């Protein structure tokens, strides 16, 4: 792919296992203007180090990495080290990278970049703390960010709690600010990412590719801490929507609200499915509605990914990893 054809993006991440694979995809196929790290899967000290490690492994020493906030807006950090390991990348021991961390704060980088240009998609793979702080510090950003591609939420259930997906659960106040900002949002939630399976066969195919990026990807496949054949690379699913749109085969626009007060539902993405003819749109969106007239629901504010093509995901991932070995 010619350099001029690459779409410009900024990536906000809390680099754990699935973030790392997503970064490898983006660093090869997209024009990564910068990467901002936030506390999430593990603490900020580890997420920014892991981010620099992946950037260095990908041979992209030109891509700047910035550290942002180390905790959510109102509550202590609830991390996912039980999934990603204490260091964030499973069993991979991450040395201190030679790639330096930028001195500027991530929020100031976001503000400076978007006030200077308005053509850069913002990809968020983490709790939305950095983004919310940037919007509060410079409200004009809401008119400067053309689109947010967000890995977070779900149309049906959660993983951090029965109701809430991890990225939104960690900082629902931040998510509420972002989702109510008026910025166009594409959401890739658990309802989509659970359709992608990180199985052993695919891990072996990745391991057969011989270059530094592919070797790291193979380690990430081996380092998944879930049950074999049932785990997913959530963040990689999200970035695929920009890298190869054919991977996401179905989406729908709907209204999404962030729950911040519920005793059992804090962090839930409340998706208004009333305009659809089912309550599980990723499975039976065309099912006959029981009532006439059908409830209208709230006006859509988010485009939500619904269906993923696993074979297309695997093909694109292998192709990108092969490209790392090409001159």
What pLDDT digit, counting tens, does each position of 186-218 carry? 999 999 999 998 888 899 999 999 999 999 999
| pLDDT attached to residue 280 | 54
Give the Cα separation of 174 and 38 in Å (integer): 12
Among 86-90, 172-176, 254-258, name the one with the lowest average pLDDT: 86-90
pLDDT tens digits along 105-136: 999 999 999 999 999 999 999 999 999 999 99
Give the Cα separation of 3 and 28 in Å (integer): 10
Beta-carbon contacts of 152 under 8 Å, excluding residues fewer than 6 positions away, are 124, 128, 165, 167, 168, 175, 187, 188, 189, 269
**DSSP-assigned states of every residue in 70-128:** SS-SSS-----HHHH-TTSSTT---PPPSSPPPSS-HHHHHHHHHHH-S--EEEE-S-S
| pLDDT attached to residue 199 | 85
Instruction: Please check the confidence at residue 59 and state whether its pLDDT lies above 70.
Output: yes
Instruction: Give the confidence band of 1 by pLDDT, cuts at 50, 70, 90.
Output: very low
The pTM of the full predicted model, rounded to 2 decimals, is 0.94
Residue bearing the bigger pLDDT, 283 or 251: 251
Mean pLDDT computed over 143-169? 96
> How many CB atoms within 10 Å of residue 267?
28
pLDDT tens digits along 271-286: 988 777 655 545 445 5
| pLDDT attached to residue 278 | 56
pLDDT mean across residues, the chain: 91
Beta-carbon contacts of 251 under 8 Å, excluding residues fewer than 6 positions away, are 186, 303, 304, 305, 306
Q: Report all structural domains of the chain as residue ranges with CATH numbers, in order of start.
A: 7-323 (3.90.245.10)
Q: 230: which DSSP letter?
A: T
| pLDDT attached to residue 287 | 45
Give the Cα separation of 218 and 235 in Å (integer): 16
Give the Cα separation of 188 and 306 in Å (integer): 8
Share of the chain above pLDDT 90, in %: 79
């Amino acid at each position: 792919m010619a350099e001029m054809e690459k779409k410009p993006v900024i990536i906000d991440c809390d680099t754990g296992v699935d973030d790392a694979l997503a970064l490898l995809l983006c660093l090869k196929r997209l024009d990564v203007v910068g990467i901002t790290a936030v506390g999430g899967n593990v603490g900020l000290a580890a997420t920014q180090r892991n981010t620099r490690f992946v950037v260095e492994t990908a041979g992209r020493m030109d891509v700047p990495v910035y550290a942002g906030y180390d905790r959510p807006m109102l509550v202590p950090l609830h991390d996912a080290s039980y999934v990603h390991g204490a260091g964030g990348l499973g069993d991979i021991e991450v040395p201190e990278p030679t790639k330096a961390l930028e001195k500027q704060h991530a929020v100031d980088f976001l503000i400076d970049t978007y006030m200077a240009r308005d053509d850069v998609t913002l990809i968020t793979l983490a709790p939305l703390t950095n983004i919310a702080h940037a919007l509060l510090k410079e409200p004009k950003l809401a008119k400067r960010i053309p689109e947010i591609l967000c890995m977070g939420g779900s149309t049906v259930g959660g993983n951090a709690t029965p109701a809430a997906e991890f990225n939104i659960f960690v900082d629902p106040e931040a998510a509420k600010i972002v989702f109510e900002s008026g910025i166009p949002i594409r959401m890739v939630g658990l309802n989509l990412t659970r359709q992608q399976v990180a199985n052993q066969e695919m891990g072996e195919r990745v391991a057969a590719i011989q270059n530094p990026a592919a070797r790291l990807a193979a380690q990430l496949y081996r380092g998944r801490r879930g049950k074999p054949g049932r785990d997913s690379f959530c963040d990689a699913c999200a970035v695929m929507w920009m890298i190869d749109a054919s991977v996401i085969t179905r989406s729908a626009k709907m209204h999404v609200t962030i729950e911040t007060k519920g005793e059992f539902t804090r962090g839930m993405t409340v998706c208004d499915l009333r305009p659809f003819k089912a309550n599980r749109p990723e499975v039976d969106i065309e099912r006959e509605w029981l009532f006439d007239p059908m409830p209208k629901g709230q006006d859509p504010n988010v485009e939500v990914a619904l269906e993923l093509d696993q074979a297309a995901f695997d093909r694109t991932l292998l192709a990108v990893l092969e490209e790392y070995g090409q001159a």
